[in-house]
A and B are shown apart, each in its own frame.
Chain A
């Protein structure tokens, strides 16, 4: 059973388009995250949601908008895609950070976004 799943795995699109990446976790976790990994493998947190509420919002362009319809899903919508958005995007989840074990992240397999 897949714990954290993302779709699509690969996404190739033109500059200026709008696209979404979906993430689902079946672990019963309360907290979900989006990370961006650049071409040099550097990982940076973008957003964090706890029980559908935004708790971390890094300095990410407002073209990026996370949406959490329920605590098992956290989707990432990107408007007006730019070349610099090309990266691998990872969704992750964890138990409530205030609880034991809440420090460990379970990562999805990643979505490789290529903007042409």
Chain B
């Protein structure tokens, strides 16, 4: 079945460090891929998405590229801020109208 695997957290970085959160997936066909972010005490927000191979999603300095050959959608940011501290979820949707399947989430903590 379809699944998403993320790197385990928590990830602790200093401000202005480079961030990578790994995400790989297993799916039939050509899924759409997403990153959602959950700030403390809040619901999830869509951060970025990519709907086909080699697409790059980007938002708020974060970016992720849909790599079909490695079935990956790693999240990157060049310089993190304390305000980026949150839990990040990778997710896939196998087809239009299909279920959104989440990875287990990766907690990011950015220290001043």
Could you list which residues of chain A lie within 8 angstroms of chain B, going by C-beta atoms? 4, 40-45, 48, 56, 90, 92, 97-98, 102-110
- Interface residues in chain B, defined as those with a beta carbon under 8 Å from any beta carbon in chain A: 32, 34, 36, 38, 41-46, 49, 51, 87, 89, 93, 96-100, 102, 104-105, 107
* Contacting residues, chain B, for A97 (C-beta < 8 A): 96-98
Provide the bound-state CA to CA distance between A105 and B101, in Å: 12
Q: Within 8 Å CB of A107, what residues of B?
A: 43-45
Q: How far is the CA of A46 from the CA of B44 in the complex (A)?
A: 16
Do residues B43 and A110 form an inter-chain contact, with CB atoms below 8 A?
yes
Instruction: Give the one of A45, A56, A105 with max B CB within 10 A.
Output: A105
Give the residue name and chain of the A residue nearest to B99 (CB).
Answer: A45
* Contact pick for A41, options B32, B45, B46, B87, CB 8 Å: B87
Q: How far is the CB of A15 from chain B (nearest CB, A)?
A: 26
Cross-interface CB contact of A90 among B43, B46, B51, B98, cutoff 8 Å: B43
Q: How far is the CB of A37 from chain B (nearest CB, A)?
A: 9
Q: A103-B49, A104-B46, A109-B42 are in contact. Are A42 and B104 (CB under 8 A)?
A: yes
A103 touches B96 (CB 8 A): yes
Interchain Cβ contacts under 8 Å between A and B, 22 examples: A4-B43, A41-B87, A41-B105, A42-B102, A43-B102, A43-B105, A45-B100, A48-B99, A98-B96, A98-B97, A102-B97, A103-B32, A103-B51, A103-B96, A104-B46, A104-B49, A105-B36, A105-B46, A106-B46, A107-B43, A108-B43, A110-B43
